[in-house]
Chains A and B, each alone.
Chain A
Amino acid sequence: MKVVYMCFGRAHSSVVASAIHLGYLDPQQTPTVPELTKLPLFDVSEASDLGVPKFVGCDTEGCEIYIVGLDGCRVQAQSAIESLAAILAVPSREFLIVETLGAIGWLAKFGGFLSRQLHFVKIGRPIVAHGIIRSYDLLCELVESVKKELSVIAAKDQETGNPDHRR
């Protein structure tokens, strides 16, 4: 099973969501600004990274976690990935695409714009970190819902005897 967290620039919300999923951030405790900025992929992506799924690790259940930035064409790109999976004979239950941008507020988006688009990193990075902290609960809820969905898929696969649910 593969989970793809997607956002605008693969720099903030998808990075934090994947870090929560993989256990690098504690969902019970809101992180500090330094904790967020120390995440290896936080606020570092470039334009050339857009559209490229990045593998960030496997969770405790063996699911592969990816992050991807899809700029302003998230709907079309999601359609492209889904149709591509059908072409490559990858069953739809073997991957899950999760939009993370909806879980963050305007402050994180504004900080991200300053840092990534205008390259005002010193100003933008702390702003986006504060924005993420304000939206942290929503991001945790999102990741929790993803984990629940994964467990439902796994239970269904066990019922139907599909051995590949963690492929």
Chain B
Amino acid sequence: MPGLWGGIVVNVVYYCWDGIFDSPMAAMIHLGYLSEERPPKIGELLALPNYGRVDRAAGRLYLAGVDGYKNAVFTLGCLNKAEMIQRVILEATRQLFKSEAQFLFFDCQSIPAWRCFLAKKLAMADPSGLRLNCRESIKSFAKIAAVVKNAKENLGY
């Protein structure tokens, strides 16, 4: 069964608790919108199209872009059910949709779940609530960059 984007090799999925902070940052590092070498500035984070999007639903795969090797990069929020959501995606691909599509999942959860929850609730009231997690995202840059580096090694870059 063909995908939406012809020639996609692997679907790379970065997942975190809510899919709003850590996984978009990882996806943007992967796609080259953020540097792999230095932590981003707050302005850079807030300018990203998918960082801090409080309207995003947990469980849904969101396309962040396609990298230079024609691998699609997705972000995903799993709450505390990462194993189950991954299994559903992999099994539904094979058993339900009879597809050979490849998915690789990378856990980039860095900010504690309670903090993500709080920032999301605050941001829903006022967008400045996102700033609660911007500094945490910047602090966790090294960890997330390491996840992306590992992902690229897995993909053979």
In whole angstroms, what is the CA distance A79 to B92 when docked? Answer: 12
Contact with B along A58-76 (1 / 0, CB 8 A): 0000000010101111011
Question: Quick check: A87 and B61 within 8 Å, CB to CB?
Answer: yes
Task: Output the least CB separation between B17 and chain A (Å).
Answer: 12
Known contacts: A53-B91, A86-B4. The answer to whether A77 contacts B84 by CB under 8 A is: yes
Which of B3, B4, B62, B92 has the largest number of chain A CB atoms within 10 A? B92
Question: Quick check: A51 and B101 within 8 Å, CB to CB?
Answer: no
Known contacts: A87-B101, A90-B1. The answer to whether A81 contacts B87 by CB under 8 A is: no
**Chain B residues with CB under 8 A of A84:** 61, 89, 92-93, 97
In whole angstroms, what is the CA distance A63 to B12 when docked? Answer: 32
In whole angstroms, what is the CA distance A1 to B78 when docked? Answer: 28
Known contacts: A88-B1, A90-B1. The answer to whether A79 contacts B84 by CB under 8 A is: no
Known contacts: A76-B78, A84-B93, A88-B99. The answer to whether A51 contacts B57 by CB under 8 A is: no
Interface residues, chain B, CB within 8 Å of chain A? 1-4, 11, 57-63, 72, 74, 76, 78-79, 81, 84-85, 87-89, 91-93, 95-97, 99, 101
A-B CB contact pairs (8 Å), 21 listed: A51-B87, A55-B95, A66-B96, A68-B88, A71-B84, A73-B59, A73-B79, A73-B84, A76-B78, A76-B79, A79-B58, A80-B59, A80-B60, A80-B61, A80-B76, A81-B96, A83-B61, A84-B89, A87-B4, A88-B93, A89-B2
